[in-house]
Amino acid sequence: MDNTIVRSKFQEHFNTTGDLYFSPGRINLIGEHTDYNGGFVFPGAIDKGILAEIKVNGTNKVRAYSVDIDEYVEFGMNEEDAPEQSWARYIFGVVREIIKRGGQVGGFDTAFAGDVPLGAGLSSSAALESTFAYALTTIFQIDTDKFELAKIGQATEHNYCGVKCGIMDQFASVFGKKGHLIRLDCRSLEHSYFPFDPAAHGYRLVLVNSCVKHELVGSPYNDRRASCERVAKVLGQEFLRGATMAQLDAIKDQISEEDYKRARYVIGEERRVLDVCEALEKDDYETVGARMYETHWGMSLDYEVSCEELDFLATVAKECGVTGSRIMGGGFGGCTINLVKEELYDNFIATATAKFNEKYGHEPKIYPVIISDGSRKL
């Protein structure tokens, strides 16, 4: 990401220069809403994210400027100093979570900007958290491993932003590796890197953004999590992870119809992630794609986190012969992720763009996926 704007805004506001830190957004090939169920996910970091320039300012205040929103905020670092602006709460939350873990954070100045689209399901918020978690622990020499960085980001969401998210987004942002997806067991945090190069097999991975903005804060996201926790409890388990359909059917009359459907989706998704990992090891992209469609319709019909526009995009993808297509991320808007054969790519993009435009009056945005490295100092 070009750093000229961040550099010039930092200079303009603080009349000095600092260091640059970057953390990426993520894609997720499969394994949606499984992270907070203790299950598996299969994400990778992308080449888009958040870039921040930061310098210690010798006070006990944070002075932060968001280039994209064109807003400047100052806040202290005690619990009662929480800023109102939602973007600033991410930075405040990270500071607080580091302090709560015993880290000594001093005041600093920062200007930041992003090229990861907001509310598109690409984890712009995790990118923001990871950027500051990585930068502040580096700058203030707080001994923190990468697992803890991811947990600081997740705790920020829980405690300062109102989203009871899982660990996937922050983990992918911090641990990302160029050309690799990460198969992560969200219960043990055991993970392995999978080389992922669809182009070598004649495929492309592309995101189609419906531009329906999703907003997980105060959204039904937390309700989905609560449904899963209720079912796990009836099953006598900490997480839904590992539950079978037979076990679920055996308690069907003790849970609501809605909770049943939510759990049915999660149990199916658990299987699909493992299938996809296995298929990839055999370069079996057809199976990968088939599971992606199953995930889409599971998320739409059972988990009910899709929307009309995303269902439309997945349907058009199928009609165009796209190998796999599904809603990606938390849901309620954002992008589909599509695995497309090279020779069908141009036609798919042209057809999806035209049909979507005809129906919804605006074109979707297209982002080719480039799997990249995680949090770093530039």
| Other residues' Cβ atoms within 10 Å of the Cβ of residue 98 | 25
Q: Which one, 10 or 175, has the nearer CB to ligand GLA?
A: 175
Name the minimum Å distance from CB 265 to ligand GLA. 11
Q: Which one, 35 or 47, has the nearer CB to ligand GLA?
A: 35
Q: Is the sign of the CA dihedral 325, 329, 332, 333 positive or negative? A: negative
Options 35, 47, 109, 169, the catalytic residue: 169
Report angle CA 3, 118, 214 to the nearest 5 degrees: 175
- The full DSSP string for 65-110 is EETTTTEEEEEESSGGG--SSHHHHHHHHHHHHHHHTT-----EEE
Name the minimum Å distance from CB 132 to ligand GLA. 17
Question: Do residues 196 and 44 lie in contact, with contact meaning Cβ atoms separated by under 8 Å?
Answer: yes
* Rounded distance between C-alpha atoms, residue 260 and residue 251, angstroms: 9
The answer for residues whose C-beta is within 8 angstroms of residue 278's C-beta and 6 or more apart is: none
Q: Is the sign of the CA dihedral 157, 98, 135, 3 positive or negative? A: positive
Name the minimum Å distance from CB 126 to ligand GLA. 7
* Rounded distance between C-alpha atoms, residue 99 and residue 81, angstroms: 14
Catalytic residue status for 169:
yes
Report which residue type is found at 375.
S
Name the minimum Å distance from CB 330 to ligand GLA. 3
Name the minimum Å distance from CB 221 to ligand GLA. 7
Binding site for ligand GLA (CB under 6 A): 32-33, 35-36, 123, 165-166, 168-169, 329-330
CA 234 from centre of chain: 29
Name the minimum Å distance from CB 5 to ligand GLA. 27
Question: Do residues 201 and 283 lie in contact, with contact meaning Cβ atoms separated by under 8 Å?
Answer: yes
Q: Which one, 316 or 328, has the nearer CB to ligand GLA?
A: 328
Q: Which one, 135 or 165, has the nearer CB to ligand GLA?
A: 165
* Rounded distance between C-alpha atoms, residue 285 and residue 342, angstroms: 13
- Cα of first residue to Cα of last residue in the chain, in angstroms, is 11
Q: Which one, 55 or 213, has the nearer CB to ligand GLA?
A: 213
Q: Which one, 19 or 185, has the nearer CB to ligand GLA?
A: 185
Residues with catalytic function: 169
